[in-house]
Each structure stands twice: as structure tokens, then as C-alpha cells.
């Protein structure tokens, strides 16, 4: 028998019963549902809307149900549709008529709005912890690689020398912005909607601020229609997760390139690689590829949510039940991806020698060679042209700027002297870039210290 049986002459069609039911996925919110109901019942008792003794009875029974669920002693049923009605049904089975008083001055519409906010607030913490874990791994690897010179790329062509520490600290900046976005999304989620009722609030003399206080919300929603219609916070979270996964996907792409024989910059730990069923020589970066792949799935959730909401008139519509699987899947896959990526990243071996070799070919010190001439009075454009000619000469002779003879240098531009070799030395090139945010050791040490500070305060 359905809760709304009074108005109906027929039982619900069994196909519709299953179709309509969300218990299979919204049961994960059991704790938030019970916690919300405990606060609601407490407030109803305090305000004299139900008897204080009945409120106490409801609260005690709800707490028992919670521990029974956690002990695996409770079975939910699709007949009760969703987590909210499942728990109310169990409550009523246990304490009879008193249980039926819990839903006074409340609708499932404001109840689900409350539950999902509380659930996503907790889940956002899980994502934040995962991001912090990766930031720590980056800090540690950066510390080990302050002197690891490598080629930096533009257009995937060798461009200018940087260090591996500097390179991966770029990802720490992206992840810090992701972290801030998660905090920001949580702030807007952290508003208490109960009391909005179905859409038009209630005539009972409830105390919404008291419920907010009991649940630890700093504020209550300002408009009852918005209170039950708003899923912006779900979309904002999905958007923050999508941007985070975009960064994870770029990072994964680099890992995949770096562990190829063509680059050979890193080697993944055996525990984080897979073999091929046919090619014995293969060691594949499946973890990074899967993170890259899952990014599409998380974007999919964002698009699902945006599309879900775009045509809905105010206030609640059942379409909104579809928000849960999308956002739950996005969170689970993001947390999974960040955590496994972190372990893979922390255990990989950095091939400093190969990185340095990559930086010594490809003329990535050509800019510094031109700067050498500028420091000796040539206009940059003339210096640029002279070095271009030098590079062409090196290619002709199959050599590098480091190995080209001083004679050759002087034939192209007589300003060159023996100290040019020192000026184009890779370490000189890197450590000369000591501006804020540059790859020089002293600048990178500052970047690491700032990151370390951030991690400490965030924890
Ligand atoms: N299971 C529903 C959801 O997730 C709860 C709200 C149901 N409200 C209603 N009027 N049918 O959205």
C-alpha cells in the first residue's frame, strides 16, 4: 500500500513502481536523511508542533535505525520508492502512529534538497582530500628534482630549458585552483532548504534557523520555491570536477608520452603498469590512459545535469531524481582517478639523465645565445638572425651549439667569445631565469615553500 493510497483506486503498475524507484542509488544518503529527520523532529518538539515526548521517541528510533543500517540489518524496498520513504516506513513499523508525525511541516521536496546538499558537502571533502594527496606527491617529487633540467615544449617542439620540479609545479597551480573551486562550490551548497515544504513553505510555526543550527548550516535558503528547485550546487560541483579531470587528463597525457621509448623521461613502477597479452616487450601506462578516458565520463555527467535542468519549470519535477546517479558517478570516478594517479606518480622513476639529454639537443639554448649577443650591444632582432644562421650551420655539421667551434661562431658574428659556452650552458640558462615563477633553483624553492604552506593550512 502506497503512502498516497487515500486518493487512488488502483495499485501502482509494477513496471512503474520499479521505474519510479530511486532506492537503488539514493540509499547512500541514509545517514543524511536520518540526521536531517532527527533535527526536524527535535525542532518540531521544541516548537510544540508535536509533543516533546513523541519527538524524543522519533529521535531515539531514528538513531536505532541508523545503527541497524550500519550493521547491515536493514533491507530497503523499491515499493517504498526512495530512501526518504523507506526510512519513514521503517520508523512507522517500529513506533507506530508516532512515526507518522515526523513528516509534519515537511515535504519530500525539501527533504531531498537537504539530503543531497549534506551528502555532497561530505563528498566534496573526499575530493578535496584526494587533491591534497596529489599536491603532496607533487611537492615531494619537486623537492627531488630541483636540478633535473629538461626541455620545455611549445607545439610539442623543444623550446626552452626548465626543470622537472618547475614543470610539475605547474600542475600544482592547476590543482590549487581546483581545490579553491571545490571550496567555493561547497560554500554555496552549505545553505539549509528544509522548511521550503513542497514549494510554498508551511503554515506551521517551525524554526528553520534552529534546524540549520542543529545540522551545522550557517544559513537557510531565502525563497521556498528556489529552495526545492535549485540544483545549481550539483552542477557547480560537476563543473569543478570536470575542470579537475581536464587537468588530470593533461597530466596523464604527459605521463603516457614520457614513458614512451621516444621520450623515456620516466619509468612507471611495475605495480602501476600492465603488460600485453601478445607483445612480450610491452609495458603499458593503463592507469594514465584510464584517467584520461574517465575524464570524458565526468564531462558526460556535467552535460547530463545541465541538460536535465534546462527545461524544468519551477518548482520540483521528478526529472530531478536523475541528478543523483550523474553526480555520484562523477565524484566516485574523480576520486578514484586522482588517488590511483597519485600512487602511480609517487612511485614512478624520473630519468634525469634522459631529460637532460633531451634538453641538450634541439637548440633549446638558442634564445640564451641570442641574449648573449644582446648583452654585448646587438639589437635583439640582429642577434636572433645571427643565432638562426648558427643553428642552420649546426644542422649542416650535425652538431650542437655547445659543440660548435668558436671559429664557426666568429665567422657568423665576431662578437662571440669563449665565454659563450658558459652562457649557453643548460644550468646557466635555467638558473638565469630567477624571476618570480621562473625555473631557476631559487625561484622553484619559493614555489615549493608556498605550496608546502598551502598544504599545511589546508589540512
Ligand atoms: N526521490 C525523489 C528525488 O530524488 C525525492 C523527491 C520526491 N518528491 C516528489 N514529489 N516525488 O528527487
- Residue 6: per-residue pLDDT: 82
- 15-104: what CATH class? mainly alpha
- The answer to whether the bond into 312 is cis (omega within 30° of 0) is no
101 DSSP 8-state letter: G
**Domain locations in the chain as residue ranges:** 15-104, 109-198+220-357, 361-458
The ligand 1 atom at the shortest distance from the C-alpha of residue 22 is: 1
Q: Residue 30 and residue 310: Cα distance in Å, rounded?
A: 28
CATH number 1.10.10.10 is the correct assignment for the domain at 361-458? no
Q: What is the pLDDT of residues 32-71, one digit of tens each?
A: 999 999 999 999 999 999 999 999 999 999 999 999 999 9
Residues 6+ apart with CB under 8 A from 2: 8, 11, 12
Q: Residue 105 and residue 204: Cα distance in Å, rounded?
A: 6
| Whether pTM exceeds 0.85 | yes
CATH number 1.20.200.10 is the correct assignment for the domain at 109-198+220-357? yes
Q: Is the CB of 83 under 6 A from ligand 1?
A: no
Same fold? 15-104, 109-198+220-357: no
C-alpha cell at 91: 520508523
Task: Point out the residues that are catalytic.
Answer: 155, 276
Q: Is the CB of 320 under 6 A from ligand 1?
A: yes
Cα of 45 vs centre of ligand 1, distance in Å, is: 25
What is the chain's pLDDT, residue by residue, as a tens digit (459 residues)?
A: 677 778 888 888 889 999 999 999 999 999 999 999 999 999 999 999 999 999 999 999 999 999 999 999 999 999 999 999 999 999 999 999 999 999 999 999 999 999 999 999 999 999 999 999 999 999 999 999 999 999 999 999 999 999 999 999 999 999 999 999 999 999 999 999 999 999 999 999 999 999 999 999 999 999 999 999 999 999 999 999 999 999 999 999 999 999 999 999 999 998 888 887 777 777 889 999 999 999 999 999 999 999 999 999 999 999 999 999 999 999 999 999 999 999 999 999 999 999 999 888 778 899 999 999 999 999 999 999 999 999 999 999 999 999 999 999 999 999 999 999 999 999 999 999 999 999 999 999 999 999 999 999 998
Best mutation site among 16, 22, 82 for ligand 1, i.e. most ligand atoms within 8 A of its Cβ? 82
Q: Is the CB of 10 under 6 A from ligand 1?
A: no
Cα of 423 vs centre of ligand 1, distance in Å, is: 69
* DSSP labels, 344-383: HHHHPEE-HHHHHHHHHSS-TTHHHHHHHHHHTT--HHHH
Amino acid at each position: 500500500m502506497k503512502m498516497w493510497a487515500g486518493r487512488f483506486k488502483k495499485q501502482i503498475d509494477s513496471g512503474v513502481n520499479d521505474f519510479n524507484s530511486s532506492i537503488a542509488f539514493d540509499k547512500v544518503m541514509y545517514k543524511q536523511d536520518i540526521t536531517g529527520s532527527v533535527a526536524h523532529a527535535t525542532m518540531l518538539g521544541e516548537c510544540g508542533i508535536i509533543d516533546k515526548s513523541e519527538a524524543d521517541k522519533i529521535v531515539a528510533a531514528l538513531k536505532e535505525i541508523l545503527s541497524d543500517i550500519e550493521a547491515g540489518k536493514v533491507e530497503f524496498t523499491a515499493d517504498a520508492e526512495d530512501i526518504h520513504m523507506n526510512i519513514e516506513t521503517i520508523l512507522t513499523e517500529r513506533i507506530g502512529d508516532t512515526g507518522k508525525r515526523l513528516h509534519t511541516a515537511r515535504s519530500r521536496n525539501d527533504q531531498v534538497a537537504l539530503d543531497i546538499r549534506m551528502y555532497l558537502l561530505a563528498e566534496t571533502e573526499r575530493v578535496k582530500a584526494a587533491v591534497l594527496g596529489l599536491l603532496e606527491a607533487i611537492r615531494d617529487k619537486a623537492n627531488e628534482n630541483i636540478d633535473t633540467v629538461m626541455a620545455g615544449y611549445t607545439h610539442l617542439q623543444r623550446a626552452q630549458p626548465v626543470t622537472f620540479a618547475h614543470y610539475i609545479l605547474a600542475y600544482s597551480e592547476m590543482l590549487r585552483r581546483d581545490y579553491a573551486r571545490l571550496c567555493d562550490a561547497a560554500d554555496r551548497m552549505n545553505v539549509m532548504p528544509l522548511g521550503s515544504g513542497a514549494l510554498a513553505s508551511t503554515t506551521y510555526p517551525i524554526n528553520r534557523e534552529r534546524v540549520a543550527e542543529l545540522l551545522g548550516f550557517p544559513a537557510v535558503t531565502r525563497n521556498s520555491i528556489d529552495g526545492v528547485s535549485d540544483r545549481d550546487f550539483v552542477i557547480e560541483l560537476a563543473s569543478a570536477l570536470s575542470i579537475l579531470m581536464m587537468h588530470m587528463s593533461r597530466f596523464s597525457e604527459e605521463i603516457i608520452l614520457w614513458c614512451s621509448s621516444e621520450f623515456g623521461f620516466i619509468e612507471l613502477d611495475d605495480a602501476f603498469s600492465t603488460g600485453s597479452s601478445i607483445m612480450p616487450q610491452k609495458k603499458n601506462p593503463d592507469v594514465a590512459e584510464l584517467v584520461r578516458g574517465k575524464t570524458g565520463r565526468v564531462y558526460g555527467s556535467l552535460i547530463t545535469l545541465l541538460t536535465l535542468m534546462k527545461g524544468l519549470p519551477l518548482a520540483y519535477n521528478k526529472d530531478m531524481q536523475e541528478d543523483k546517479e550523474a553526480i555520484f558517478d562523477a565524484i566516485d570516478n574523480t576520486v578514484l582517478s586522482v588517488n590511483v594517479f597519485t600512487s602511480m606518480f609517487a612511485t614512478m622513476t624520473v630519468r634525469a639523465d634522459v631529460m637532460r639529454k633531451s634538453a641538450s639537443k634541439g637548440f633549446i639554448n638558442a634564445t640564451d645565445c641570442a641574449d648573449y649577443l644582446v648583452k654585448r650591444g646587438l639589437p635583439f632582432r640582429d642577434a636572433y638572425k645571427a643565432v638562426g644562421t648558427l643553428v642552420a650551420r649546426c644542422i649542416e655539421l650535425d652538431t650542437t651549439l655547445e659543440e660548435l667551434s668558436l671559429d664557426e661562431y666568429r665567422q657568423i658574428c665576431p662578437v662571440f667569445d669563449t665565454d659563450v659556452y658558459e652562457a649557453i650552458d643548460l644550468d646557466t640558462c635555467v638558473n638565469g631565469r630567477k624571476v618570480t615563477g621562473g625555473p631557476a633553483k631559487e625561484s622553484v624553492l619559493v614555489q615549493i615553500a608556498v605550496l608546502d604552506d598551502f598544504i599545511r593550512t589546508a589540512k
